[in-house]
Amino acid sequence: MIRIREDIQAGLAKDPATRSALELFLTSPGLHALWSHQVAHMLWNWGWHIPARIHSQWTRFWTGIEIHPGATIGRRVVIDHGMGIVIGETAIVGDDVLIYHGVTLGGKINDRVKRHPTVGNNVLLGAGAKLIGDIEIGDGAMIGANAVVTKNVPAGAVIVGPQIRPIN
């Protein structure tokens, strides 16, 4: 369930400001939010939706990071400076993703369908990036700070600006 050692190694590899595993373990709101999400997600999958939502809301209160218990989060995801992150119910986040503060994986419709982004593996989501709707972000893509993404992004693409435009 909770992959403590693997998550700490990923955090140390992707955050040069963290000096030790102990520091990361004790002080990383991103790490705590991801571990808490694993518990909430388990409750959600058992059909215990209200306890799962209560658990995720307490995590939001303590960390400033809101991950819906229905969201699917991969392995070795790192949330750096997590304040203000929102990950919606039907979002899927792949493995080895780096997410900076203020990122939103949001929906744009109110129907009970897949309405949040799917983020591939080895993706970087820059500070303040907004990914909206049932879109796909390909493996290895980099989404720049404050980019607003409403369309699919191919694997390996680098997307920048408030109105997305590929630069490679």
What amino acid positions are annotated as catalytic residues? Answer: 101
Torsional class of 136: left (φ above 0), alpha (ψ -120 to 50), beta (otherwise): beta
Structural element, H or E, at residue 91: none
CB atoms within 10 A of CB 102: 19
Q: How far is residue 69's CA from residue 72's CA, in Å, rounded to a whole number?
A: 8
Contact by Cβ (8 Å): 119, 91: yes
DSSP state for residue 162 in the 8-state scheme? T
